[in-house]
Amino acid sequence: MKKVIYPGTFDPVTYGHVDIVKRAVDLFASVVVTVAVNPTKQQLFTTEERVNMLNDSLIGYNTVTVDSFEGLLVDHAKEVGATGIIRGLRQVSDFEFEFQMALMNRKLADDIATIFLMPHEKYTYLNSTIIRNLASLKADVSDFVPPIVQEALKKKFG
């Protein structure tokens, strides 16, 4: 596998996401981090803001590109020439949903493999929802998100 895609809402990007990217970069020639656009979900940050935060958070990862997509993930993976989809697993409870999605993606495009990566254990409890909640309550999130994300959260929540 030369190119993989790492999709997510990244609302906002956390150090757990960055850790998964680092692991993917160590394994694959090219990684496309792609922001999923879901019009049925209300996001804190716009697609453009999330793409910009990812680009800033991933400076120095020369084999990483960041984009966004709307629609079927497997269609986007084909468009960018990816042969694999990276999915992060933080805990056992993530596996059931991710396994179901992997099987559906295989049914839709069996030439695209799903690869599960686990972040460092210090990020296993971390997710974007928790970060948004902490930031809305004015908690210090600097240990959990890159500086640009911390500043963006401060602006959103005053």
CB atoms within 10 A of CB 56: 15
- What are 43-88's pLDDT values in tens digits? 999 999 999 999 999 999 999 999 999 999 999 999 999 999 999 9
CA-CA-CA-CA torsion sign (11, 146, 135, 155): negative
DSSP output for 74-116: HHHHHHHT-SEEEEE--SHHHHHHHHHHHHHHHHH-TTSEEEE
Q: At what angle do helices 147-157 and 128-136 cross, to 10 degrees?
A: 50
β-partners of residue 31 are 4, 64
pTM of the model: 0.93
Helix (H, G, I), strand (E, B) or coil at 30: strand
Q: Which residues are catalytic?
A: 17, 41, 90, 128
* Residue the block writes with tokens 């005053």: 158
CA angle 68, 72, 75 (to 5 degrees): 85
Of 77, 91, 96, 63, the C-alpha closest to 34 is 77
Predicted confidence band at 41 (pLDDT cuts at 50, 70, 90)? confident
Burial bucket for residue 98 (CB in 10 Å: 0-12, 13-18, 19+): middle
Express each pLDDT in 80-109 by its tens digit: 999 999 999 887 777 888 899 999 999 999
- β-bridge partners, 115: 86
Task: Indicate whether 40 pLDDT > 90.
Answer: no
Report residue 135's pLDDT band, with 50, 70 and 90 as the boundaries: very high
CATH superfamily of 3-125: HUPs (3.40.50.620)
120 SS3 class: coil
At 96 the pLDDT is 86
